[in-house]
Amino acid sequence: MEFIFLCSRVNVLILLLTLCSPYKFIQSPMDFGPLNLLQTTYESSRDFGRIVFNTPAAVLRPQSKTDISLLLSSLSTSSLSRVTVSARGAGHSIHGQAQAVDGIVVEMESLPLEMEIHRREGENEISFMDVSSGALWIEVLKESLKFGMAPRSWTDYLHLTVGGTLSNAGISGQTFKFGPQISNVLQLEVVTGQGEFVTCSRTENSELFYSVLGGLGQFGIITKARIILQKAPEKVKWIRAFYDDFDTFTKDQELLVSMPDSVDYVEGFKVLNEQSLHSSSVGFPGNIGFVPDFGTKEKPKVYFCIEFAVHDYQLEHINVDEVVRDISRQMSYMQVQFYSVEVSYFDFLDRVSMEEISLRRKGLWDVHHPWLNMFVPKSGIVEFKELLMEYISPDDFMGLILIYPLLRDKWDGNMSAVLPEVGSTDRVMYVVGVLQSASPDTCNHLCLHNLLQHQRSFAQTACDRIGAKQYLGHQPSMLHWREHFSRKWDRFARRKSRFDPNYILGPGQGIFTNPQ
């Protein structure tokens, strides 16, 4: 294990740990290539959002779960329990959630990669993969495909770690069918805030299992997960259909999610301007001949696109084109604006990589990302759309606005993830992702500050008026977190004092403050 020592504040801790553990410390930049040290501190002080930059006191690169357990047990039993610890996956958070100002960042990608497939052929048996939590989903996909298998539930982007997405929820176009990624886990291995190593599942140490899933890194560090697998299709029929009316768009989305036996993936996005049409189509390998009239600045016209997919297992008795035709006959998209392509399952799941490559080429990947994701009750989706029109100006919006339905009964209320309480009897709710980019070349500090202020007031209005809840969000204070968790707050706080009683873990979320 490497422990990179960066600041005098943890000097005592390091001495303490040196005495009682077999850690190998690198005590000065001279023991370590300066370049490497620089990269390490730089990486762990930032994330995809490029909004928050907190420098930790030290970075731990664990070589085993024992390293993590030793760190946490040493901290929680010493007078240094005020030192906080954050697990960092791929650092694709937006608001510094995996950072630890003056604390210790544990880089989970350093854990040796372990992926073990257990294929089960029996009718009632479930195949699964045991995977180390620092693995990226793209690695999980590549490994499982070697066995003709794949996880059932995904995120759009696959360069995220297993531990990182399981700490949130992990959603994509398959969520309506199988639930979020947290609903597709059989077992976890976790190191609690006290350094205790625990295996947990729905039947064994279940309280920890439910706490950690969607738990924002507050209760323990996940070191391994057991993920459900299914047979992977050979190919995917990938369809895009356009709408000029929001009600018809959502009605068709709801129709699609009511057909889980034939539809395998449903998403959708708002087409605000030329840029949003082109940027969202980078990964779509078909030619889209849609040339919409976007109206004028005074009277803009917007469109919507449904994206859905049907898996093709290349079974002779199933004609996938016929399945798609049957589905499309029931839909009400704009005449002719229906496009379909066939791609490999891998390319379909890895589609955002194409966008990443394109954005990197244009220098638009390493920019500010003031993203906002919200779960919106079905009863409030029309009002949310109206609010969004006031919040976003089609003229200068750079990015993507995702809108797609999820089904509440695919989520487990025992887990920590938070859904809207309003409209809880509606089976459908929506996720809306306002995935905005702002280049530092055109948006300075003040501009970013204003964007974030504007976003905060929009999100607050959506919460107060519609009962929407933020996903992957950051709240400005504990009071706001209480409001966010609402009825789930007491349980969340109780679980925190049980599994991380010294409040060591997850400082970057800003939910609890270390009371020491």
Minimum CB–partner distance for residue 70 and ligand FAD (Å): 16
Which range touches ligand FAD (CB under 6 A), out of 166-174, 247-255, 281-289, 441-449? Answer: 166-174
Interatomic CA distance for residues 292 and 206, integer angstroms: 52
Minimum CB–partner distance for residue 433 and ligand FAD (Å): 8
Is 156 a binding residue for ligand FAD by CB under 6 A? The answer is yes
Nearer to ligand FAD, 98 or 407 (CB): 98
With H, G, I as helix, E, B as strand and everything else as coil, classify residue 191: strand
With H, G, I as helix, E, B as strand and everything else as coil, classify residue 2: strand
Let me know: does 352 contact 400? Beta carbons within 8 Å.
no
Annotation marks residue 159 as catalytic: no
Instruction: Give the residue from 293, 302, 320 showing the smallest Cα distance to 235.
Output: 320
Task: Count interface residues toward ligand FAD (CB under 6 A).
Answer: 36
In terms of Cβ atoms closer than 10 Å to its own Cβ (0-12, 13-18, 19+), residue 130 is middle
Which is it for strands 85-88 and 58-61: parallel, antiparallel or unpaired? unpaired
Minimum CB–partner distance for residue 516 and ligand FAD (Å): 20
Is 88 a binding residue for ligand FAD by CB under 6 A? The answer is yes
Helix (H) or strand (E) holding 128: strand 127-132
Interatomic CA distance for residues 162 and 133, integer angstroms: 5
Annotation marks residue 474 as catalytic: no
Minimum CB–partner distance for residue 161 and ligand FAD (Å): 3
- Across the chain, how many H-helices and E-strands are there? 16, 19
Helix (H) or strand (E) holding 175: helix 175-178
Which range touches ligand FAD (CB under 6 A), out of 158-166, 203-211, 374-382, 437-445? Answer: 158-166
Residues whose CB is less than 8 angstroms from the CB of residue 125 and which lie 6 or more positions away in sequence, other chains included:
none
Helix (H) or strand (E) holding 403: strand 399-407
Annotation marks residue 121 as catalytic: no
Is 348 a binding residue for ligand FAD by CB under 6 A? The answer is no
Interaction residues for ligand FAD, span 90-109 (CB under 6 A): 90-93, 97-98, 108
Per-position x/- string for 468-497, each x denoting binding to ligand FAD as judged by CB under 6 A, each - no binding: ----x-------------------------
With H, G, I as helix, E, B as strand and everything else as coil, classify residue 383: helix
Q: Pick left, alpha or beta for residue 133 (phi over 0 → left; psi -120 to 50 → alpha; otherwise beta).
A: alpha
* Cα distances (Å, whole numbers) of residue 497 to 220, 263, 312, 493: 12, 43, 48, 6
Is 151 a binding residue for ligand FAD by CB under 6 A? The answer is no
Helix (H) or strand (E) holding 247: helix 246-257
Q: Which of 2, 92, 189, 480 is catalytic?
A: 92
Is 193 a binding residue for ligand FAD by CB under 6 A? The answer is no
Q: Which of 143, 267, 307, 500 is catalytic?
A: 267
Is 172 a binding residue for ligand FAD by CB under 6 A? The answer is yes
The single residue among 57, 58, 131, 160 that binds ligand FAD, judged by CB under 6 A, is 160
Let me know: does 72 contact 118? Beta carbons within 8 Å.
no
The single residue among 221, 372, 418, 463 that binds ligand FAD, judged by CB under 6 A, is 221
Interaction residues for ligand FAD, span 258-287 (CB under 6 A): none
Which range touches ligand FAD (CB under 6 A), out of 23-31, 81-89, 284-292, 383-391? Answer: 81-89
Nearer to ligand FAD, 92 or 496 (CB): 92
Is 163 a binding residue for ligand FAD by CB under 6 A? The answer is yes
Minimum CB–partner distance for residue 154 and ligand FAD (Å): 8
Instruction: Give the residue from 227, 69, 68, 85 showing the smallest Cα distance to 161.
Output: 227
Interaction residues for ligand FAD, span 106-125 (CB under 6 A): 108
Let me know: does 219 contact 192? Beta carbons within 8 Å.
yes
Per-position x/- string for 48-67, each x denoting binding to ligand FAD as judged by CB under 6 A, each - no binding: x-------------------
- Burial code (b: 16+ CB inside 10 Å, e: under 16) for 212-245 equals bbbbbbbbbbbbbbbbbbbebbebbbbbbbbbbe
Is 216 a binding residue for ligand FAD by CB under 6 A? The answer is yes
Nearer to ligand FAD, 108 or 129 (CB): 108
Is 340 a binding residue for ligand FAD by CB under 6 A? The answer is no
The single residue among 81, 110, 167, 253 that binds ligand FAD, judged by CB under 6 A, is 167
Interatomic CA distance for residues 273 and 277, integer angstroms: 6
Minimum CB–partner distance for residue 105 and ligand FAD (Å): 9
Residues with catalytic annotation? 92, 156, 267
Residues of this chain that interact with ligand FAD (CB under 6 A) are 47-48, 86-93, 97-98, 108, 133, 155-157, 160-161, 163-165, 167-172, 216-217, 221-222, 472, 506, 508-509
